[in-house]
Structure 1
């Protein structure tokens, strides 16, 4: 080992080629040290800037038992590199191949302690390709007898531990088995698969398995023991076997596997997929049996964790999944880990019946933005999602005078925003109309409200699946809980826009708005120590509970509370914006936008107010007033129609240059408002304000 090289973050690859552009690209990622493991075919003079290279000669000099168990020409030689990196002080190890191109400098991976996330709530088996928008595809190692089973879309939004193993999906030619390639692509063509890059990362709970490979995977320190690759399994299956074995053992230390949106691109050369199929035979005919075995396997209660590792490995030999040489490799690997100072994780015996969580998780139904699937024997690509939305509008407006054509559709680039639509009451039959109104521009729409059973009944009639979170909004009084829950899901967006289901959003304005600023409406001041004529200040959702929440925040500024500076800064900005240390705001809150850069503080402060059941028209404007100075907030222009008869005059009062109009009740969209939507709103949404004005 080389004591002069001490680094926390390592990238480990094997290669038989001269330095590739992909390896050179990895070496340019700040903060990461690249370790290249040579083999018998690797050029003896291999050298590249910012890379450490271990030739076969170098490897044999290392004081490691594992070296004796790994033959040359074996993919398992990566294990030598892992041990080398661990000995040099690694906390994170990223494994990949020399033909993978990272597209984000590994920034998608989570190196920090995670607080919230999306937890899969289905049973036993998870298909990550479905989660990220390719429901007709499956990764190498997914049991082929389960491909035709209906994928589950049940999730929980909950506090989660950062996954010990994180796998990033790969665009271009991702990892799929030979059966897929033989039946779903032209032999000499290159695939160009795209996954949904905005879909939130997902964590698999204990009790759920999924295949993952060694081509784009990050391991945290507590999972370094899982990086070893069996030496007798064929090249096309060894990392998959390793992955299933590792997941079952993760359950014994309270660890988890997570999947991230695509953060790499791969190009593969065409070759004999039929030969690949022969190599992958075990994946086709043994995986389901292996999965059943892992589900039923138990580790003796008296065993420590490394004893569990050996026991499972030995049991896999006894059941014919591994060979004795693999077990010997595992024993040598564990010996080397302990010799170089790796700390064995503490065992937390897996219990099949999960304990009750500290806080109730929020149920969610998630569907990614479905991506174009890889075609075969057709020259035209499938219709893109946007045009399918346009066709839906065309169908809805078929009986009106306005007809829509593909020619002239606005090509303005739309911001990468998650639209959150809140239902004060569970009138979910209106969701298809909201999809018509906003689905053309928003690839990701999240619906939120009470009563998942009502949603499930309504959704049976939907033409396309939608994402939904069940949140206690109580008549809309706590609608901000929808916003914070959406933020906790960690979508890969620039920001979060929340509107009520009866808020008409004029989408054609949004591309010109600054996505790095908060967008909100006009506000009115209140004072914590004074009565006020505003109705809601006097109710059980007003002054009393607001002041309790504020007191809780003030208590955090005492002593050395971990969030002291955050809360003090928040209160100082509120004071600046209101002109008083007793000031706060109230305002109608049926539309707002928060950039993702404010998400953590938004979650923190809104959760404090949520705990005390404070009314949304106090919480939202006051939290915004503590996030940013007033002069940096972008004001939204629009209309609120009160109970003076104007609510029945939507077509007459609508203004194309406003951003919003509230309320617009969609219960009459098929009758009274159909002509308004088909002849005014939809043309503006599709063609833009200027185009529509010229056509009048």
Structure 2
């Protein structure tokens, strides 16, 4: 195990993938893979930590019970362990995102730095639309705002970066509607990064770096389908944490998905995220209006467990 205070957290129900093997070989980072009841019983890592279902129940029994099984939100247990182990920076990744050779280097997260900031009048920012692939949009960006995206104004600001959301070449993190229409295979020009915005925007859990303080309040929301990480991102920004979007540092070789199933899992976002971001912009947002009751109880258990 690395002596670093930088951790990588991932969930997987597969045998170790190419991405997992590469993350496990990162000498400056400690990998934590959170298992589930579908994960092979003989799952092994060369260097990192495998957190078995039994380990999770011992680590945070109340939280484990409230989250339930066979869901990606088990990743929250990995966040607990990373914080217990003294992590200062945590990367949350997926097992189908192949890290580039320079992954995890030159990080802005945890620093105060000058950065390009888009100035938008609307209540939500789409980071994908700010790139050369402006026909696409980030998963979780409200479809109702697509026609009004405007990137004509920007300024340089000096700000602390609490979250660094790196992009992904190959099959990017777009929603099912966008993927059905475009089926993209893209490469993002690194010259377009980094940037932030004056309004909140979505970020995901598949190639994102968080400071210890931000992670202690970041929580993948059970019971909201494929909005689990998206609504978590908006909630964190509502609390005042700043996100910067940075160059692609992985290539996504996306696991097999049923796009119709993805569409169903995203529908709650198509329907309700627009109201959420409007309320965040207006200062009236309350998670209790969006998160299921059990998710709220789980978040409370998480906050108490990590001492936030």
The reply to whether TM is greater than 0.5 is yes
Question: Unaligned 5+ residue runs, structure 1?
Answer: 186-190, 299-311, 339-343, 345-696
Aligned-residue offset at 1:63: 4.7
Question: Unaligned 5+ residue runs, structure 2?
Answer: none
- The question of 1:243 aligning with 2:240 is answered no
Report what 2:196 is aligned to: 203
Report what 1:220 is aligned to: 211
Aligned-residue offset at 1:144: 0.6
Please say if residues 109 and 260 of structure 1, whose CA atoms lie closer than 8 Å, have aligned partners that are also in contact.
Answer: no
Q: Deviations over 1:496-537 (max 9, x none)?
A: xxxxxxxxxxxxxxxxxxxxxxxxxxxxxxxxxxxxxxxxxx
Please say if residues 126 and 149 of structure 2, whose CA atoms lie closer than 8 Å, have aligned partners that are also in contact.
Answer: no
Rounded Cα–Cα distance in structure 1 between residues aligned with 2:252 and 2:222:
25
Aligned-residue offset at 1:7: 4.1
- The question of 1:316 aligning with 2:306 is answered no
Report what 1:155 is aligned to: 154
Rounded Cα–Cα distance in structure 1 between residues aligned with 2:204 and 2:30:
21
- The question of 1:335 aligning with 2:304 is answered yes
- Aligned to 1:115, the other structure's residue is in SS state strand
Report what 2:93 is aligned to: 96
Root-mean-square deviation (CA, aligned residues, Å) is 1.9
Aligned-residue offset at 1:86: 0.4
- Aligned to 2:165, the other structure's residue is in SS state strand
Please say if residues 2 and 30 of structure 2, whose CA atoms lie closer than 8 Å, have aligned partners that are also in contact.
Answer: no
Aligned-residue offset at 1:87: 0.6
Higher percent of residues as strand: 2
- Aligned to 1:16, the other structure's residue is in SS state coil
Higher relative contact order (CA 8 A, sep 6+): 2
Match of 1:325 among 294, 299, 302: 294
Report what 2:263 is aligned to: 277
Q: Deviations over 1:532-560 (max 9, x none)?
A: xxxxxxxxxxxxxxxxxxxxxxxxxxxxx
Rounded Cα–Cα distance in structure 2 between residues aligned with 1:159 and 1:324:
38
- The question of 1:26 aligning with 2:23 is answered yes
- The question of 1:121 aligning with 2:119 is answered yes
Rounded Cα–Cα distance in structure 2 between residues aligned with 1:230 and 1:272:
21
Rounded Cα–Cα distance in structure 2 between residues aligned with 1:11 and 1:29:
10
Report what 1:69 is aligned to: 66
Look at both structures and tell me which one has the larger radius of gyration over its CA atoms. 1
Please say if residues 7 and 88 of structure 1, whose CA atoms lie closer than 8 Å, have aligned partners that are also in contact.
Answer: no
Report what 1:291 is aligned to: 277
Which TM-score applies when normalising by structure 2?
A: 0.93
Change (3 A) 1:21 1:181: same
Aligned-residue offset at 1:173: 0.1
- Aligned to 1:17, the other structure's residue is in SS state coil
Which TM-score applies when normalising by structure 1?
A: 0.42
Please say if residues 82 and 227 of structure 1, whose CA atoms lie closer than 8 Å, have aligned partners that are also in contact.
Answer: no
- Aligned to 1:13, the other structure's residue is in SS state strand
